[in-house]
Structure 1
Amino acid sequence: AAARTVADAERVAAQRLAAAQDQAMTELERAAGLTADQAREELTSRLVAQAEHAAAAKVRRAQAQAQRAAEAKALRVLTTSVQRLAVATSAQSSVTQLPLPSDEMKGRIIGKEGRNIRSFEALTGVNVLVDETPDTVVLSSFDAERREVAVATLTALMADGRINPQRIEAAYAAAVAEVADRDEQAGHDAIERAGIGVLAPELAPTIGRLRLRTSSGQNVLEHLVETALIGAAIAAEVGADVEITRRGCFLHDIGKALTPLQGGSHARAGADLLRRHGEVAAVVEAVAAHHDEVPPTTVEAVLVQVADAISAARPGARRENVDQFAERMERLEALVGAVEGVRRVLAMAAGREVRVVVEPDQVADTELPALADRLARLIESEADVPGEIRVTVVRELRASATTA
């Protein structure tokens, strides 16, 4: 009986406790304005939000740490690669200086009453400056090809010692005939300096022609060699294919030797040329993609873009106004050259003088003053060249005969 009494008391106490708890919960819900389920859901959502915030913070810290590590590694790779570079860093100039073997050579170059120097300038289209520096003659022209031919011509004349209009013409003809040999020699030298292995023999002269091309004042051939060395060093640091990267970097601008003749994109022209000569597909793709005309799909193609940008962006590598000046001079020559009866046009003295050679069977001597004035008015109205420009029209009729 006693045990039953205790059990009944416990049951009553439990009921009262439950009732008190229910009453307390009801009072709490009334005070909070939430039911127990709502409070539980809100607490759960808050805990979940706190967990997500903490996880996102950890992810951001991990990403920032990975970004810092990647940037530090990239900086180390680039600085290591550039430090290993040893190439010429001067931009292309529009003048060439030739040392004189003796003081009397300057008089021979000038000739009696300036006859030799006038003949040389009229033939080559290059200005000759003999009074700028002692023991040196300066050849000036915006056209690198004309300037190179003039250098070869004058070098041969000084070596021979006999300088007169006839010898100048002979030396000039020989210098023009040797252009192809100079192209091939320059191509092979660049291939060797860049460390390129086997290359199609037909590509060497095309590469060599780039020694006469500039991009914003930077010599294109030197740019190719420099890019190849940078790209190979970066590829070695990051574990990419060194030879594919080296070849892609060296050949990426080869199309610039073709575009003056055929126009269009030099990246596409270069890729087509390499494909025709059996270059591997990875190199062809890198050349085609180096200006993002097609998307790069390999690490080596991306490294070609990186090395190209580094070579072009270094201080002193490029000067935009040089190419703009050359383009203005070319447009000036094309404008005058389109006039009927004009055989050859030479923009000289930094564009301040234009020498026009006319066909003697189409233009008479009496017509020269009127033609010169007409050309001057044409340049004044059509050409975007500042300052005064002197137009000199030359008509020369030669006759020769041989004995029986």
Structure 2
Amino acid sequence: MDSTTLILVALGGLIIGFIVAKIMEKGRASKTISNAKKEANAILKEANLEGENVKKDKILQAKEKFLELKAEHEKVIINKDKKIAEAEKRTRDKESQVSNELAKNRKLNEQLDRKIKDVAHREEFFNKKQEELDKLHSNQVQQLEVISGLSAEDAKSQLMESLKETAKTDAMAYLQTTLEEAKLTAQQEARKIVINTIQRIGTEEAVENCVSVFNLESDDVKGRIIGREGRNIRAIEAATGVEIIVDDTPEAIILSCFDSVRREIARLSLHKLVTDGRIHPARIEEIVRKTEKQIEQEIVEIGKRTVIDLGIHGLHPELIKAVGRMKYRSSYGQNLLQHSREVAKLCGVMAAELGLNPKLAKRAGLLHDIGKVPNTEAEVETPHAILGMQWAEKYGEKPDVCNAIGAHHDEIEMKTLISPIIQVCDAISGARPGARRQVLDSYIQRLKDLEEIAFAFNGVQKAYAIQAGRELRVIVESEKVSDDKAAQLSFEISQKIQTDMTYPGQVKVTVIRETRSVNVAK
């Protein structure tokens, strides 16, 4: 075979091989496609099964949730039904109780009607008896007049003369008659006019330190403060012990009291009442009680600020409270807290110059007059320096401080170098021109003595000296003091004041007795 034939044969073989290869490749492709279709069908079938399962699960969950919500709803309905049944039961019980109460009230009304009729019959019977007694009495009086040869008035006069020392009620009437006769004499009246004039002049300086001006937004508020027939202003004065002066001064009223604490309580209480707008006796008493607690807290805060400002540490709480109370006390017209702060600063400077302990000197200087602050107990006749030393010892102060307090007026011997420093600084503070006024201090002491005399009697609940000491208002406990006893108590207090005290002019003693009945409506 030639080369051409070989080439042709080779080409033919190649073509045949190519065709065979294509045929085989096509068979494999169709087989792959068939397998892929089978797998796809299987996946779809599996997916459908899973979807059906998920659908069934969700349906079951929805049914369970529905049953759960239904059960909860039924519980709520049952609880509501139960509450409604309980409310209905309570209502039926209340209705039954009201019916029983109404029946009781009807029975009580019937009993009351019977008792009223019985009382009317008894009253008629007693009236008849009284008429008979009056006739018998008049007959007996006529017979006694015939027997004794005296008229009824003459016998009564002789009886009053013989019993006026023992019968206090008749003695008061006799004393009143004597006073009326004495007033008729011109000389006695002239003396009273002169004494009252001296008294008004003598209290001029005291008034500057014993009054506070309470400013108002308008004069319309004055009428609300006074109240219907003056009940509000009387309630304020009774609760605080402060005299309230309402005059023609525009947009202002005056609070008068020698005690600065009571005056401040009245001022703050009025401010709260006017701001709130509700002014009536019950509200007044409530506000005054709250204000008293507020003042007590403020006193403690003033004491704390004072000791912090002066750099004094470790002071007993009771002594801190006493320092705070100094703000509302005066000594010879000088504010006690300002005086004590001034003495403390002077003591600190002087002690530092002498090489002594300035903190200890400040401490003693601040506390040197705590004996002038009234204690919660009754005041005793002890010099204020000794009383202050006793308090300092009681509350754990050092011996040097206690000795300086007790010796600053030479009541005891000075044992430390701080003691003369306290004495000198106290004199420096009080010796400044205009620092002190003897008249004001004696005036305040006189008012305190007036109140103490009232408290010495049994049954006295409160006592307030007002109108610059010209009136003593005493509030008594209605359970312990009767109306007759109140008149007698007024007389006895006036006699005690007249015997034990020296004062200009007159002192009017007013005894107030009131009865309160309190019930609670539920």
Same fold (TM over 0.5): yes
Out of 189, 192, 199, the position equivalent to 2:308 is 192
Out of 427, 431, 436, the position equivalent to 1:318 is 436
Q: 1:378 to 1:292 in 2, by over 3 A?
A: closer
Aligned to 2:212: 96
SS in structure 1 at match of 2:254: strand
Q: 1:322 to 1:239 in 2, by over 3 A?
A: same
Q: Which moved more, 1:298-307 or 1:376-385?
A: 376-385
Percent identity reads 40
Out of 339, 351, 364, the position equivalent to 2:469 is 351
CA contact (8 A) 1:356 1:392 kept: yes
Q: Does 1:248 align with 2:380?
A: no
Q: 1:142 to 1:184 in 2, by over 3 A?
A: same
Question: Partners in 2 of 1:332 and 1:91 — Cα distance?
Answer: 18
Write the deviation string for residues 335-382 of structure 1: whole angstroms up to 9, x where unpaired.
334344443322211112222223323444466556545554554455
Aligned to 2:324: 208
Aligned to 2:503: 385
Aligned to 2:337: 221
Aligned to 1:160: 276
Out of 255, 269, 286, the position equivalent to 1:170 is 286
Matches within 5 A, 1:294-305: 294-305=412-423
Write the deviation string for residues 62-118 of structure 1: whole angstroms up to 9, x where unpaired.
xxxxxxxxxxxxxxxxxxxxxxxxxxxx99811222222443322321223322112
Question: Partners in 1 of 2:488 and 2:396 — Cα distance?
Answer: 56
CA contact (8 A) 2:476 2:513 kept: yes
Aligned to 1:79: none
Determine which structure has the larger helix proportion and give its number. 2
Aligned to 2:299: 183
Q: 1:390 to 1:132 in 2, by over 3 A?
A: farther
Aligned to 1:284: 402
Question: Partners in 2 of 1:365 and 1:336 — Cα distance?
Answer: 17
Aligned to 2:80: none
CA contact (8 A) 1:91 1:218 kept: no
Q: 1:365 to 1:190 in 2, by over 3 A?
A: same
SS in structure 1 at match of 2:400: helix
Aligned to 1:109: 225
Q: 1:237 to 1:100 in 2, by over 3 A?
A: farther
Offset at residue 126 of structure 1 (A): 0.7
Aligned to 2:452: 334
Q: 1:255 to 1:110 in 2, by over 3 A?
A: same
CA contact (8 A) 1:258 1:269 kept: no
Offset at residue 128 of structure 1 (A): 0.8
Q: 1:320 to 1:242 in 2, by over 3 A?
A: same
Note the aligned Cα RMSD (angstroms).
2.9
Offset at residue 145 of structure 1 (A): 3.1
CA contact (8 A) 1:211 1:221 kept: yes
Q: Which moved more, 1:185-194 or 1:120-129?
A: 185-194
The runs of 5 or more residues in structure 1 that have no matched partner are 1-89
CA contact (8 A) 1:91 1:318 kept: no
Question: Partners in 2 of 1:151 and 1:189 — Cα distance?
Answer: 23
Question: Partners in 2 of 1:337 and 1:313 — Cα distance?
Answer: 36
Question: Partners in 2 of 1:163 and 1:373 — Cα distance?
Answer: 35
Question: Partners in 2 of 1:328 and 1:215 — Cα distance?
Answer: 14
The runs of 5 or more residues in structure 2 that have no matched partner are 1-205
Aligned to 1:126: 242
Q: 1:134 to 1:195 in 2, by over 3 A?
A: farther
SS in structure 2 at match of 1:293: coil
Q: 1:372 to 1:244 in 2, by over 3 A?
A: closer
CA contact (8 A) 2:453 2:493 kept: no
Offset at residue 277 of structure 1 (A): 4.1
Q: 1:265 to 1:367 in 2, by over 3 A?
A: closer
Report the residue type matching 1:114 in the other structure: G
Question: Partners in 2 of 1:401 and 1:111 — Cα distance?
Answer: 25
Larger Rg, first or second structure (1 or 2) = 2
SS in structure 1 at match of 2:505: coil
Q: Which has the higher contact order (CA 8 A, sep 6+)?
A: 1
Question: Partners in 2 of 1:233 and 1:91 — Cα distance?
Answer: 36
Offset at residue 211 of structure 1 (A): 2.4
Q: Does 1:271 align with 2:389?
A: yes
Q: 1:113 to 1:244 in 2, by over 3 A?
A: same
Write the deviation string for residues 140-192 of structure 1: whole angstroms up to 9, x where unpaired.
11223322322232222123222111111111111223343122112112223
Question: Partners in 2 of 1:136 and 1:210 — Cα distance?
Answer: 28
SS in structure 2 at match of 1:344: strand
Question: Partners in 1 of 2:207 and 2:230 — Cα distance?
Answer: 33
Q: Does 1:397 align with 2:515?
A: yes
Q: 1:103 to 1:247 in 2, by over 3 A?
A: same
CA contact (8 A) 2:473 2:511 kept: yes
Question: Partners in 2 of 1:389 and 1:307 — Cα distance?
Answer: 40
Q: What is the TM-score when the length of structure 1 is the normalising length?
A: 0.69
CA contact (8 A) 1:193 1:225 kept: no
Aligned to 2:255: 139
Question: Partners in 2 of 1:339 and 1:254 — Cα distance?
Answer: 29
CA contact (8 A) 2:311 2:359 kept: no
Question: Partners in 1 of 2:474 and 2:363 — Cα distance?
Answer: 44
Q: 1:317 to 1:400 in 2, by over 3 A?
A: same
